[in-house]
Structure 1
Amino acid sequence: MPVPPLSPAPLPGHVWFDVEDLLEYGRTNTRPSGIQRVAFEIQCAMRALPGMAHRVGFLRHSLDGRRFVIVSGEEVDGLYRRLTTYSGLRKDQGSRETGHAGAGERAAPSLFRRLVLQLPAAVRVPLGQLAVHQRAVLRDMPPLVRGVLSVVRQARRQDAGRVRRPFLPAPNDIILALGAPWAHPDYGALITHYRHHHGVKFGLLVHDIIPLLYPEWCPAGLPRVFRRWLTSTLPVTDQVFSVSTATRHDLEKQFPGVAAQPVRMGAMSPPDRKADDAASVMDHPYVLSVGTLEVRKNHVFLFRLWRRLLSEHRPEDIPHLVLVGSPGWLAEDLMGQLRNSNFLEGHITLILRPSDAQLDTLYRHALFTIVPSFYEGWGLPVSESLTRGKACLSSDRGALVEAGQGLAVHFDPDNLNDVLEKITRLIFGAETLGELTKRVERDFRETPWSFAAQDMLQMLCAVKQP
């Protein structure tokens, strides 16, 4: 049900956003995740509400994790601006040696490789595996070193700074956690301190509870940590929010007695258009899929789908598949299949770290988009596609149907034949794709992020202190 407009009466207290996870994420990452995007959009929308410009502040955790300290809005804005404008765009679509040159044109093996090939298989195979693992270690070592050095420098800078900037809220002030604060092992105790000693209210936005629903898609140990965090934090939360009705149902089923309230989700609006180097991938018509490369996102399904399309039709009639995202949890199998097939002989392109402007260019020039995920708490790539007037083929799991607003074409992510039939109609049926695109352009209604900010503020203001 729509929330009524904000009352013109003065609002009690200030709203403080816990941005510790954003600041920590920004240490070692160059592009924002979907969670950071949602949190920042709601924060900006909250500041833009009538009477709220000077009532919004930002917090991070003290070095011992037992208190909050204040950080400036300028620091938060600057970090997010860096994450969204950074351009480390890299394109991978297979090597020319195997993908574009004939067998007779391949370079001769090096002397070292010829020597290794003379070794017995019992030695040669483990040696090759060792070399592969060593390359992976060398690839991952620089980010690890940068992360350690960043932590040391941050601790030195903040050791005195955090002490000088304590957080002393007034009664009825509001603390909102919109991101992923579950890295804090005793977050419930931190919130309890401010609720009991300062009379603040606490609101928590839950994006999903995937580690509890599908632990097989997560790193070992994470489900246990996530459950322990929610078990200690939910009882001290004055209002639980969710990004979708699907997430609300999941949360209430796992934690009976918790009443979560969905907020009205917006979409990432296109940035100001300008020329950028994303145009370098426009050599062929393509279908776009945006999302971190992890097992839950089901990119292996797309790999199988494109292999099937290429086997059943002339390769020159099949658009390329452009994947935008960085490797995440349990992506080794996907990356191995891409490399071993030479990215399906160049028919799949992987784009890493595009800026927001470059990502917008990729959306605008795509034939349509596809989201094959097994589960999503919301589905920003669906919203982003519809916002730009692009037809979207989307899985029917989790909240993706909600995000599609009746305008996306949905399929079963376990059924290759289902999506094959639907995508074939879009690839070879220009009229079908044109009609779907026109329907999206005509009927899609973008939800302002101010709706989510307004929902949260009014619900928390209505909460009575115990």
Structure 2
Amino acid sequence: MAAKGLPIQATRLLIRAYRLYQRARIRSAPRQVPSQPNETERGFVLISHHILTGDDRAALSGRAGGLAFLCHDLIPTLRPDMVGMSPGEARYGSYLEHLVRSGAPAFCASDEVGATLTDHMQQAGVTQPVVYRFPMPSILYETASRIGQTSRIEADEPFVLYCSTIEVRKNHILLARIWQQALDEGVKLPRLVCAGRWGWMIDPLRAYLKAHPRLLERVTFTGAISDEELIRYYRSASFGVFPS
């Protein structure tokens, strides 16, 4: 996905997430009812990981009572070796604790993330967070549906797709080792296509690719691509892999 479209996509995601929250609140109760019955009736400022770890957070610090936050994972806190530790990333855990103490509910993309957040807050001695579970919307699929490009198309060559920013926590190096082992053992795997821009902490992957030049005969790194290109990859891939 092109980098220049990320702010727009993030804004759309936040809007979709809030709408899904409103529907979910009507259909089912959260794990824990907020202490004030009218808490969920107020308008929330829904903030993302980027704001949690960036300078923008300072502008919202005085509105803690009216905030809610998206929680995709707790990697900056639980696995700091997997992220670039900017000052914001380093304070990610304390930011979350502050939000939970203030009563800000968490919108988690999976039950596992909600359970991890709850366990972490219990271990930190923080009151159990208010957790809502909502399905992550796919803006890409919505775009493909709108332009009538969701049907299967056959590729000239079978391939396996991994769509992700190339960074240490996405574990591309595991796939590289699997495909290299297949080459060493004479096993013919489909081509591996890694779609996504290059990110941070990838020196080990680059070193592995340099040490195994034949690997690039079977593994393709596309770099940043457009939504239209990514849709074509999804429509024609044999299957996807998710080793992060």
> For this structure pair, what is the TM-score category when the shorter chain's length is used for normalisation?
0.7 to 0.9
1:124-177: CA deviations, max 9, x gaps? Answer: xxxxxxxxxxxxxxxxxxxxxxxxxxxxxxxxxxxxxxxxxxxxxxx9433222
- Correspondence 1:41 to 2:13: yes
Q: Which is higher, the Rg of structure 1 or of structure 2?
A: 1
Task: Name the residue aligned to 2:75.
Answer: 210
Amino acid at match of 1:214: R
Q: Report the Cα offset of residue 324 of structure 1.
A: 0.7
Contact 1:297 1:372 in 2 (8 A): yes
- Residues 368-383 of structure 1 correspond to what in structure 2 (within 5 A)? 368-373=239-244
Q: 1:284 aligns with which of 142, 157, 166?
A: 157
Alpha-carbon separation, structure 2, partners of 1:345 and 1:219: 27
Task: Name the residue aligned to 2:201.
Answer: 330
Q: Secondary structure at the match of 1:329?
A: coil
Alpha-carbon separation, structure 1, partners of 2:174 and 2:102: 41
Distance 1:324 1:348, change over 3 A: same
Alpha-carbon separation, structure 1, partners of 2:105 and 2:19: 20
- Correspondence 1:364 to 2:204: no
Equivalences, count: 209
- Residues 242-391 of structure 1 correspond to what in structure 2 (within 5 A)? 242-256=108-122, 257=127, 258-267=129-138, 268-269=140-141, 271=144, 272=147, 283-313=156-186, 317-342=188-213, 344-373=215-244
- Which runs of 5 or more residues in structure 2 are unaligned? 23-40
Distance 1:187 1:343, change over 3 A: farther
Normalised by the size of structure 1, how large is the TM-score?
0.40
Alpha-carbon separation, structure 2, partners of 1:349 and 1:263: 33
- Correspondence 1:186 to 2:58: yes
Contact 1:218 1:330 in 2 (8 A): yes
Alpha-carbon separation, structure 1, partners of 2:67 and 2:62: 11
Q: Secondary structure at the match of 1:289?
A: strand
Task: Name the residue aligned to 1:174.
Answer: 44
Alpha-carbon separation, structure 2, partners of 1:343 and 1:283: 21
Distance 1:246 1:367, change over 3 A: same
Amino acid at match of 2:81: E
Contact 2:193 2:222 in 1 (8 A): yes
Task: Name the residue aligned to 1:445.
Answer: none
Q: CA RMSD in A?
A: 3.2
- Which runs of 5 or more residues in structure 1 are unaligned? 1-25, 51-170, 196-200, 374-466
Alpha-carbon separation, structure 2, partners of 1:312 and 1:326: 30
Amino acid at match of 2:74: I
Identity among equivalent positions (%) equals: 24
